[in-house]
Structure 1
């Protein structure tokens, strides 16, 4: 029987290179998220409290594509694709495939998502 390839670990890195989080499974990210059966909780600091308690989910599909979903956060979720400067704002509750190296704007928190 063929072994399933190991799931890669995702990293959220701040603008100054500070490691904000290691994500080894599907995750619910926010200021004070609660874990669920499907997702681990990833808590981030939000100095201005602009990050919602449960701001977004980050999942990996079977092909290891990164899928980000805004959970109806007050300040939304913006994505800046690698090599771009324009922020693309996600539609709430709509899963969106995001390439590694993209920068997530989550209220007052900026983080690059990568493997």
Structure 2
């Protein structure tokens, strides 16, 4: 099976935005450490080190097991179901949040003690 035909990965799915959907909507503390992209639908959520842990929640709730980094310069896939790195195809751009977007983010919403709040 070709990489672009992996069940659960849609290479054409575009990212839902530039930040965590749930944090941006007010679910949780409203900030994230790193971002992850659902390889099935493009949902952008925050990583498991972030207080909200929305990316893995989305994967489990929606049955979309494959996540990829949405950080500049990172190119990997994570199988949240089997908890292992996997190979995956190139996805529709953009493949990361904008370079000018700070990490952690979003700008102006990250608390001064953010490092103590990481998981």
Q: Same fold (TM over 0.5)?
A: no
* Superposition TM-score, scaled by structure 1 size: 0.27
> Per residue, is there more helix in 1 or in 2?
2
Structure with the larger strand share: 1
Q: Provide TM-score, normalisation by structure 2.
A: 0.27
